[in-house]
Amino acid sequence: RSVSSERSIRARVPPMLTDLYQFTMAYAYWNSGRHNEPAVFELFFRENPFGGGFSLFSGVHDCLLFLRNFRFTEEDVEYLRSVLPPTTNPAFFQFLRELDCSGVTLRAVPEATVVFARVPLMEVDGPLAVVQLLETSLLCLVNYASLVCSNAARFRLAAGPDRKLLELGLRRAQGPDGGLTASRYTHIGGFDMTSNVQAGFLFGIPVAGTMAHSYVTSFSSLEEVWPQTLLPADGEKDPIDLISLTKGLLGRLCELLGAEPAKIHEGELAAFLSYAIAYPGNFLPVIDSYSVSCSGLLNFCAVAMALIELGHQPRGVRLDSGDLCRQSVEVRRVFKHCAKQFSVPVFESLIIVGTNNISEQSMMELSKKENEINVVGVGTHLVTCTRQPSLGCVYKLVEVRGSPRMKFSEDPEKSTVPGKKAVYRLLDSEGHPLMDLLCLSEEPPPLAGQTLRCYPLGQEAHLAVTPTQVTCLRQEVFAKGQITQPLCSDAECREKVQRSIQNLDPRHKRLQDPEPYSVALSDKLHKLIAEIRRGTSANGKFLLNN
Ligand SMILES: *[C@@H]1O[C@H](CO)[C@@H](O)[C@H](O)[C@H]1NC(C)=O
């Protein structure tokens, strides 16, 4: 799979998948001889998505594969020559031909970690022109992956740990690549299955799906059922006429439930029979094409009981419209009734799949109401992230030639935190993350059990905290052209997401009105910002070399 991931990144995210201004800046740097100046950029987002208290950081592995493959082809260079002005020095194109990421070092929060707004998640250190060229592609690789993974994790929190979640957003997704990215990262975020076959093929995600309404409505009479017979599961006996068997059962069922045979749709029965004959071990029809209670449910029960008589195991039903909770309760009641009256214990374990424009809100309502839904399918609201369509990760310069850089802004929220940093996660005595602390990289790390003074972002006052445990949040994952840490599999990342969310204090993981998580600056970093703001330390060199 990692070979196919790498091939896929090379094809989908060549170094040309970037904004033109990265090349125009790179040329201007090169032209003035600054292209090899050491520079440091940081990547972060300013607000947790969906009004939540946390996010998940995803797409890091793809960034690493992108960095490892970063080379311009002759065709790329020819195209760039055609779009940059004719005055561009031809030697610049030779520079591009020889460019790679061997001078770049990346420190990043590991894939699928719970993260918070304003914490620098990646530090990209290397020659100025190269690290500038990487900006757009890195942002493109992490922004949507992290957003949709976080969205999936929220759906998982809303659904509770036991309900199975099926992603079926491909047809509504933002194009083919958006659809594929959504399937992959919603699986990592907590979904169990996808309807997307290519995602199953590429990433090993379990795929699921049976039939649409079109299959049901394409049939109008029992004469269209062909073949009409099915072999019993034990394979010993002769084929059985499934139509006659089902008709008999349907009659008994109507009597038992007091249902009107005249309301039962023959075409629907024909569709169910044909499907059951094709897939006797995977019978899970959609039962709301005409009427769940007057037709679909009865047709399902009759065909399912016929399958059971032949030794096969039907799986369940899908509801795709109306009040899913109420219908599921009714369906379950009939299943239990049948299990008893017809002595078919298999009916006790049939599953009910619900799919109907499910949003986070409706998932939460569903979890509160009485219902019998075992599997929920989610499409549009999951993959398009309707509540917030972009994460807004940014990539900001924090140091050049060893001296800190800071962007001021009239909007204080948009100012950047200067300097090359180390990021620590402080844990409390229960092991919950307590605060993320940003320090200058040359500062000694905070120590467990020792009280430190820090400045929570967005507040003037300082605070004293005593962590029980201190972890270093970022790791060096790429250096000298190589990936320096083993990449964990998507399955491992998926487990890590759940572990990492479980570890979060409930106050921060509430879906609505969560308590903000503290992100703070060290004393030294706070001082540096004050110096730069006062203009007494325009580039910070004096302070840093202290
Ligand atoms: C799906 O739900 C949203 C609200 O969550 C609503 O605005 C939209 O119209 C619904 N779409 C369909 C096709 O029912």
Q: What is the number of structural domains in the chain?
A: 2
Rounded Cα–Cα distance for residues 277 and 231 (Å): 9
- Asked whether residue 546 is domain-assigned, the answer is no
- How do residues 468-512 score in pLDDT, each as one tens digit? 999 999 999 999 999 999 999 999 999 999 999 999 999 999 999
The number of residues making up the chain comes to 546
DSSP 115-162: E-TT---EEEEEEHHHHHHTHHHHHHHHHHHHHHHHHHHHHHHHH-SS
- Beta bridge partner(s), residue 354: 319, 376
Based on the fold, state whether residues 13 and 69 are members of the same structural domain.
yes
Ligand 1: which atom is nearest the Cα of residue 361? 5
Cα 357 to ligand 1 centre (Å) = 6
Helix (H, G, I), strand (E, B) or coil at 291: coil
| 317 CB-near residues (< 8 Å, 6+ apart) | 284, 285, 286, 287, 296, 297, 300, 331, 350, 351, 352, 353
Residue nearest to atom 9 of ligand 1 (CA): 357
pLDDT reported for residue 10: 82
Percentage of the chain lying above the pLDDT 70 cut: 97
Q: Is the CB of 2 inside a 6 Å radius of any atom of ligand 1?
A: no
Cα 127 to ligand 1 centre (Å) = 49
Q: Is the CB of 102 inside a 6 Å radius of any atom of ligand 1?
A: no
Based on the fold, state whether residues 88 and 193 are members of the same structural domain.
no
Q: Is the CB of 475 inside a 6 Å radius of any atom of ligand 1?
A: no
Helix (H, G, I), strand (E, B) or coil at 304: helix
Based on the fold, state whether residues 366 and 397 are members of the same structural domain.
no
Cα 204 to ligand 1 centre (Å) = 31
Based on the fold, state whether residues 30 and 59 are members of the same structural domain.
yes
Cα 6 to ligand 1 centre (Å) = 37
Residue nearest to atom 13 of ligand 1 (CA): 357
Based on the fold, state whether residues 66 and 163 are members of the same structural domain.
no
Ligand 1: which atom is nearest the Cα of residue 356? 14
Residue nearest to atom 2 of ligand 1 (CA): 357
Task: Using DSSP bridges, classify how beta strands 518-522 and 240-241 pair: parallel, antiparallel or unpaired.
Answer: unpaired
Based on the fold, state whether residues 72 and 166 are members of the same structural domain.
no
- Asked whether residue 238 is domain-assigned, the answer is yes
Based on the fold, state whether residues 81 and 163 are members of the same structural domain.
no
Domain boundary among 360, 383, 406: 383
Q: Domain containing 196 — which CATH number?
A: 3.20.20.70
Cα 212 to ligand 1 centre (Å) = 19
- Asked whether residue 466 is domain-assigned, the answer is no
Rounded Cα–Cα distance for residues 369 and 373 (Å): 11
Q: Is the CB of 539 inside a 6 Å radius of any atom of ligand 1?
A: no
pLDDT reported for residue 545: 45
Ligand 1: which atom is nearest the Cα of residue 362? 5
Residue nearest to atom 4 of ligand 1 (CA): 359
Based on the fold, state whether residues 372 and 403 are members of the same structural domain.
no
**What residues in the chain have per-residue pLDDT under 50?**
540-546
- Asked whether residue 489 is domain-assigned, the answer is yes
Q: Is the CB of 386 inside a 6 Å radius of any atom of ligand 1?
A: no
pLDDT reported for residue 544: 47
| 357 CB-near residues (< 8 Å, 6+ apart) | 379, 380, 381
- Asked whether residue 99 is domain-assigned, the answer is yes
- Asked whether residue 17 is domain-assigned, the answer is yes
- Beta bridge partner(s), residue 106: 124, 478
Rounded Cα–Cα distance for residues 55 and 259 (Å): 50
Cα 287 to ligand 1 centre (Å) = 21
Q: Is the CB of 349 inside a 6 Å radius of any atom of ligand 1?
A: no
- Asked whether residue 430 is domain-assigned, the answer is no
DSSP 495-543: HHHHHHHHTS-HHHH-SSSPPPPEEEEEHHHHHHHHHHHHTS-SS-HHH
Based on the fold, state whether residues 311 and 271 are members of the same structural domain.
yes
Cα 169 to ligand 1 centre (Å) = 14
Tally of CA atoms within 13 A in the half-sphere of 34 that contains its CB: 13
Chain centre to alpha carbon of residue 312: 36
Based on the fold, state whether residues 510 and 375 are members of the same structural domain.
no
Pocket test for ligand 1, best of 323, 357, 358, 366 (most atoms within 8 A of CB): 357
Based on the fold, state whether residues 266 and 355 are members of the same structural domain.
yes
Based on the fold, state whether residues 346 and 220 are members of the same structural domain.
yes
Q: Is the CB of 321 inside a 6 Å radius of any atom of ligand 1?
A: no
What does DSSP assign to residue 104? Answer: -
Q: Domain containing 405 — which CATH number?
A: 3.20.140.10
- Asked whether residue 327 is domain-assigned, the answer is yes
Q: Is the CB of 136 inside a 6 Å radius of any atom of ligand 1?
A: no
- How do residues 61-111 score in pLDDT, each as one tens digit? 999 999 999 999 999 999 999 999 999 999 999 999 999 999 999 999 999
Q: Is the CB of 359 inside a 6 Å radius of any atom of ligand 1?
A: yes
pLDDT reported for residue 546: 41
Q: Is the CB of 357 inside a 6 Å radius of any atom of ligand 1?
A: yes
Give alpha helix (H) positions in 342-432.
Answer: 360-368, 380-383
Ligand 1: which atom is nearest the Cα of residue 381? 5
Residue nearest to atom 11 of ligand 1 (CA): 357
Tally of CA atoms within 13 A in the half-sphere of 360 that contains its CB: 23
Rounded Cα–Cα distance for residues 102 and 481 (Å): 4
pLDDT reported for residue 440: 96
Domain that holds residue 61: 2-147+392-418+474-517
Cα 113 to ligand 1 centre (Å) = 32
- Given a contact cutoff of 8 angstroms between Cβ atoms, the answer to whether 224 and 270 are in contact is yes
